Amino acid sequence: MQFIKYGININFLGKRKLALIFSISLIVISVGSLIMNKGLKLGVDFAGGTLIQVAFKDHVDISDIKSGLNSVDLEKSSVQQFGSAEKNEFLIRTNNPITSSEGFTIDVESALKASTGLEADIRRVEMVGPQIGKDLQEKAWLAIFYALLLITIYISGRFELKWVLSGVVAAALIGAVYLLTLFNVSIPVLIMAALIVAIIIFWFLELKYAMGAIVALIHDVTITIGIFSIFGKEFTLPIIAAVLTIIGYSLNDTIIVFDRIRENLKKYPKNPLDLNINKSINETLSRTILTSLTTLGVLIALFTLGGEIIHDFAFAMIVGILIGTYSSIFVASPILLAWQRKER
């Protein structure tokens, strides 16, 4: 299906300076939000503690719920509305992991009934110990890091036939990160430093396609995480799944454009590099827009109709698809032009 008229010639590279300003602004805002908020708002999965979802048949005041929780040693809990006000559902969070038992659930229901005068329906109880939460948090960051490095091996091998070279670089970085984790170095800081080192190494080894891909993916992940911080949304295991999915989606878009660039460089070797890159982006534009729109249609349906449990996952995916589509055009491809200046 040809969504866009064949032969269209939009000067995407001519807007790369504006795109650079836009991307840097988003990254600065995202990082600034993370610094101001002292990191992400971690869910029970990562922070540890207990999460209780409770529903009532009629309206209740949060103060009454907190009053009932005081009688079962949950006085330091936070209570917030879950979903629309008409549902009368609430999330109760406490930093203390409580041993799950039938008796505990009955005690909470009885305490809430006494304080609110209404029957309380406990929908779910989730408990994670602090050490388990910390381990999950570290493994989540490492999963993202390993995914990014393994992707660079694939990109370098496919487009530049440098399987061994990229593999050695990735293995060295993974090994260095693993060794440093044994000395209790902060995982997020360590991964950030390793990615910066990776970009520098790719530059000197002239792994231009790998560098374009990894910069675009770091761009996508940073902005997606930053938007979660800006809106104060919880960062949980499903969001890690969404981030890894976004990485795969964005990479797929980037590979399509890179493939066409490689074909056009062989087909039109006398054309300037910027002309070939711009031509390639325009030739794949119809496919890019159609794929993004169909994916967004499903995600918007999940976001609006899927319920509160999947709401944040769908939100992360929507943000990631939009940013990923943008980065494959305005971030990954223009980076290839840097080598043209370097060679000159």
Could you tell me where the DSSP H helices lie in 161-272? Answer: 163-181, 187-205, 208-230, 237-267
Per-residue confidence (pLDDT) for residue 323, from 0 to 100: 95
Q: How far is CA 65 from CA 35, 99, 197, 219, 284, in A?
A: 33, 21, 51, 42, 55
Convert the pLDDT of each residue in 116-163 to its tens digit: 888 888 888 887 776 777 788 888 888 888 888 888 889 988 888 889
Least confident of 27-36, 69-78, 187-196, 234-243: 69-78
Burial track 4-35 (b if 16+ CB lie within 10 A, e otherwise): eeeeeeeebbeebeebeeebeebeeebeebbe
CB 115 within 8 A of CB 45: no
Per-residue confidence (pLDDT) for residue 1, from 0 to 100: 54
Exposed/middle/buried for residue 271 (C-beta within 10 Å: 0-12, 13-18, 19+): middle
Per-residue confidence (pLDDT) for residue 158, from 0 to 100: 87
What's the mean per-residue pLDDT of the chain?
A: 86
Considering only CA atoms, which of 153, 158, 156 is closest in space to residue 171? Answer: 153
Instruction: Report, in angstroms and rounded to the nearest whole number, the Rg of the chain calculated over CA atoms.
Output: 24
| Confidence check: pLDDT of 100 > 70 | no
What's the rounded Cα separation, in Å, for the pair 24 and 192?
17
Considering only CA atoms, which of 200, 208, 219 is closest in space to residue 23? Answer: 219
Instruction: Identify the architecture of domain 13-43+132-343 in CATH.
Output: Up-down Bundle (1.20)
Mean of the pLDDT values across residues 229-240? 89
Per-residue confidence (pLDDT) for residue 204, from 0 to 100: 85
Q: Extract the tokens encoding 140.
A: 């989540």
What's the rounded Cα separation, in Å, for the pair 112 and 119?
8
Per-residue confidence (pLDDT) for residue 341, from 0 to 100: 60
What's the rounded Cα separation, in Å, for the pair 68 and 64?
6
Convert the pLDDT of each residue in 44-77 to its tens digit: 878 778 888 888 888 888 888 888 888 777 767 7
CB 155 within 8 A of CB 336: no
Least confident of 74-83, 208-217, 232-241, 301-310: 74-83
Per-residue confidence (pLDDT) for residue 317, from 0 to 100: 95
Convert the pLDDT of each residue in 149-161 to its tens digit: 888 889 988 888 8
CB 177 within 8 A of CB 280: no
Could you tell me where the DSSP H helices lie in the chain? Answer: 16-36, 44-47, 62-70, 102-116, 130-160, 163-181, 187-205, 208-230, 237-267, 273-283, 285-305, 311-327, 333-335, 337-343
Considering only CA atoms, which of 236, 198, 217, 212 is closest in space to residue 144? Answer: 217
What's the rounded Cα separation, in Å, for the pair 62 and 81?
8
What's the rounded Cα separation, in Å, for the pair 114 and 118?
8
Residue tagged 């879950």 (tokens): 82
At 4, the pLDDT band (50, 70, 90 cuts) reads low
The answer for residues whose C-beta is within 8 angstroms of residue 83's C-beta and 6 or more apart is 89, 307, 308
Mean of the pLDDT values across residues 167-176? 89
Convert the pLDDT of each residue in 308-335 to its tens digit: 778 899 999 999 999 999 999 999 988 8
Per-residue confidence (pLDDT) for residue 102, from 0 to 100: 58
Range with the largest mean pLDDT of 100-109, 130-139, 164-173: 164-173
Q: Where in the chain is the domain with CATH 1.20.1640.10?
A: 13-43+132-343
Per-residue confidence (pLDDT) for residue 79, from 0 to 100: 84
Contacts 24+ apart (CB under 8 A), 169-172: 169/198, 169/201, 169/202, 169/205, 169/207, 170/198
Which CATH fold would you assign to the domain 49-128? Alpha-Beta Plaits (3.30.70)
| H or E element, residue 93 | strand 89-94
Considering only CA atoms, which of 331, 318, 316, 137 is closest in space to residue 251? Answer: 331
